[in-house]
Every structure is written in C-alpha cells, then in structure tokens.
Amino acid sequence: MKRDEVYEIEPEEYCSRVLARVCEAALRHNKGSRGMMINYAQLPEAVLTHILDFFGVEITDSKKEALLTVARLDAKNPSFAFERGSKRNGTEAIRAAVARWLLPVYEQLEATRIGT
C-alpha cells in the first residue's frame, strides 16, 4: 500500500491490513527458526504447558501457582481478570475487513502453529 492510499481507505481496512502485516512478519520470522507459536486462546495456561518447557525453565509448584495467579489478571488493568477474547463480534465492516485481509494470514499462522 502506498502512503497516500492510507488516507483513502476505511479505518477497519487499515487496521486489518496492519495486523495482517504483523502476522506475515511472524510467519517470515518463524520459517527455519526454532521458535514456538502460541495462540492467544492458549493463554494463560500455555505458560505452564508449553512455554516453560520450551525455554528449559523448571520452577517449583509454589512458583507455578504464583505465576498462574498473575497470569489470570489482565495485564493492562490487573484489577480485572484476563479474558481470552472480546465478547463483541464487531461491526459488519470490521468482520468484512478481517475476513478479507487478516483471516487468510491468521489461518497460515494456525497451520504453522499446529504443524500442518
């Protein structure tokens, strides 16, 4: 997309395209790496089920419990519990933009994550 085109598209399209580019960068970086992909929906449990093992970190049961206690809180506002996803589905314009620009890349990320 050229710089001037940014001013001509709707915010929903712009946001979806930016997020798609971030996801594309993750896919490029992951090729040939020894990295690990985690889906946001796997959090916070993935810390204990995947991430610690991946990095070879061993912690005591009490530390695991403390880690989970913190992970169950919203990082931006710790007075609220962590929530995996929005309870809203967004507007039709958001859903259309996501379907066009972001969903294809997201599906590639998921295929890479699960190894298909």
Concatenated DSSP letters of 66-78 = HHHHHHTB-SS-T
For residues 56 and 73, state if they share a domain.
Answer: yes
For residues 34 and 48, state if they share a domain.
Answer: no
Spatial contact of 15 and 6, defined as CB atoms under 8 Å apart: no
Residue 45: predicted pLDDT: 87
Tally of structural domains, the chain: 2
Which of 85, 86, 82 has the alpha carbon at shortest distance from 47?
82
For residues 34 and 62, state if they share a domain.
Answer: no
Looking at the whole model, is its pTM more than 0.75?
Answer: yes
Domain membership of residue 70 as a residue range: 44-83
Backbone phi, then psi, for 57, in 5-degree steps?
Answer: -95, 130
Residue 5: predicted pLDDT: 81
Quote the CA–CA distance of 97 and 13 in Å, as a whole number: 5
Residue 111: predicted pLDDT: 95
Q: What is the pLDDT along the chain (116 residues), one digit of tens a residue?
A: 777 788 889 999 999 999 999 999 999 999 888 889 999 889 888 988 899 999 999 999 999 999 888 888 888 888 988 887 766 678 999 999 999 999 999 999 999 999 86
For residues 69 and 95, state if they share a domain.
Answer: no
